[in-house]
Structure 1
């Protein structure tokens, strides 16, 4: 079902916005994993989304990690708890963090007017903005240093205080990069959630 129905064209609810943003993270993170070569290119399938051809993993182990993560992200978004999502790329051998893809999330206080209140924004426009961010992620490979040694990734979730976390999730450090280069990417807004993207990376020594 679409986050917007035809009776209320352009009306975005908190729940609908959470679905849209979760969908962006699904495509965005898959795209980073493909672009940065963390998994073999032949373990991705092409899909059309946001007017773009994007790559989505068909690696069962990776899907088993990502799918519950995105479900939880959607719940946090709908509960107005998610403040930031970070994908961290580290060298497997040294554990050194070499890239940090950060997405800061702001949530409008939509429920002041009641549980079913909505904001106005055309879903087509929202998807266009999301596509612009993903285009930038793809283009960033032109300036990011090559990952010449085997790397792994992790996802960090920042929530509001007193948020109940899934039992199998562990506390983590912020995984910051010392003296990192930082590039601000585009942002998008559903009119309920705003997401600002940036990438930090370690300069080649």
Structure 2
């Protein structure tokens, strides 16, 4: 009888330890936690101590540029409980956003934009601890950014000017919104002005972009 009681207590203890571990894994994270736990692959030229210094500078109201391992500079421009914007070098900008799904679960959206030549964004969504990060497929059809009333001839002209299509993404500090726009290649000033006046942005909620679970 005593042996069974000991086994029961051991079982309960094990279950409590497992439950504690799971609660720790999925505990509510702030953007500060997300920034400090950022995997090396997202910023290989920034050590954790460098990220700490950048964070402290912003919290003190003095967002200064920080030297990175590539002898360039990075700057944490803005951070709130659920939003972050940083310049990671001359050609890279990063935005992070914590948001709630329709089921009330917290997810992380990470946007990395390369601004050399034709700017282009890479977008991933996953858990706040940087696991299960999945890359989203961005819009590759220019027609999605053109007015419905545009003639077929003008659509073809626009598609030719913007080819190959690349898009950039911006996140909102205030809302869980994803804004996608076309990044234009080199072209004449007149053509660029004409196309810029035609193009619209695509605005969607982050919950709409969650990869479907199969």
TM-score exceeds 0.5 = no
Larger RCO (alpha carbons 8 Å, 6+ apart): 1
TM-score by length of 2: 0.29
TM-score by length of 1: 0.30
Give the structure with the higher percent strand. 1
